[in-house]
Amino acid sequence: MQQEGPQPHWKPLPGDLSEDRRQFVSCLREIRECSPRTQADIAHDASQAATTLSNHLNGGRVPEPQLLISFYKVVEQDALAIGVQLPYSVSFLLCLRSRALMKHCKCCPTGFPVSTPDPRSPALSSARHVWHRRRLRNAARKQKTSSFPAQRSAPVPLPEGDRHPRRLTDEAWTDLETLTRYLAEGRDRDASVVLWGAATTLPAGDVPRAVAACRSAGLDQEAETILINAGKRDPQTVLDIAAAFHNSLRFEDAGLILAAASRATQ
C-alpha cells in the first residue's frame, strides 16, 4: 500500500556543479515536492529504482529523457489528485536538461544562448500556465466527446468550421513508401540516405512528421536515427524542431532530439 511521506530534506548539491546543472536539479526537487508520497513509491510508479531517482535529485547524474518524463508524469498525477499545479512544464525541464549537459566555452556553437532564462520570469510563468491549461482543455475535450458517437461528416465545410491543431499523421511523409521499399529489399545504404535526408534537409516543422510516420509504421529504430542526425543541425533549427514536437505533445521525441544535440556538442 502506498503511503504519504514527509517532505524531503535535501542534501547540499556538490560544489563542482555548473549553474545550469544546479538550476535543473533545483527544478527537479520542486517537482518532487508536489507529491505527498514517498520517493520510493514515486520511483516505483515511474519504473525506475529509488536509488536512481535519488541520484537525479541530488545532482549525481542527469536523467535520460525517458526517465525524466516518466518521473514527471507520476508526480503530475499525484499533484492533480490533490489540486496542486506543477511549477514547471515537462518541455521546460527537457530544455533545462539540455542546458545542464552543455559545456559553455569557446568551442560551443555560435548563436546558442549563453545565459539560461529565469524559470520564474513572468513570460515563462505565463507560458507554463498556458501549457497546463491547454493540457487540461484537451483532456476535458477527449472525455466529453468520448461518450458521443462519431459524426459521419462535418456539420460545415472544413474551411468554415472550427480550426483544430493538425496531427502529425494528418499529412503523410512522402518518403515513407520509399524507405519501407528499400528496407524490404535489403537496400540498407539507400534507406540510410533517405533517413539522413529527412534529418538534415527537411524544414524544422516537417521533421516531426517524418518521425511520426516511421513510428506509425513500426520503424522506431529508423525514427530514432532521424532524431539523432537532426540533433546535429544548428542549435536554432534543433530548438525549432523540439518546439514542433512540443506543440504536438510529443514530449519524448522532443527530449530525444535535445539529448542528441547535447551529445553532439560535447
Rounded distance between C-alpha atoms, residue 40 and residue 28, angstroms: 16
Rounded distance between C-alpha atoms, residue 191 and residue 248, angstroms: 26
Q: What is the pLDDT of residue 22?
A: 92
Higher pLDDT, 146 or 265: 265
Rounded distance between C-alpha atoms, residue 248 and residue 244, angstroms: 6
Q: What is the pLDDT of residue 4?
A: 60
Res. 7 pLDDT band, cuts 50 70 90:
low
Res. 57 pLDDT band, cuts 50 70 90:
very high
Rounded distance between C-alpha atoms, residue 79 and residue 75, angstroms: 6
Angle between helical axes of 207-216 and 188-201 (0-180°, round to 10) = 140
Q: What is the pLDDT of residue 146?
A: 42
- Mean predicted lDDT score pLDDT of the chain: 77
- Mean pLDDT is lowest, of 20-24, 119-123, 250-254, for 119-123
pLDDT per position as a tens digit, 101-110? 876 554 443 3
Query: Mean pLDDT across the stretch 250-257?
Result: 89
Rounded distance between C-alpha atoms, residue 69 and residue 80, angstroms: 16
Q: What is the pLDDT of residue 190?
A: 80
Res. 41 pLDDT band, cuts 50 70 90:
very high
Q: What is the pLDDT of residue 127?
A: 44
pLDDT per position as a tens digit, 110-134? 333 333 444 444 444 444 444 444 4
pTM: 0.44
Rounded distance between C-alpha atoms, residue 54 and residue 78, angstroms: 18
Tell me if 222 sits within 8 A of 197, measured CB to CB.
no
Query: Mean pLDDT across the stretch 133-150?
Result: 45
Rounded distance between C-alpha atoms, residue 88 and residue 93, angstroms: 7
Q: What is the pLDDT of residue 120?
A: 45
Q: What is the pLDDT of residue 171?
A: 58
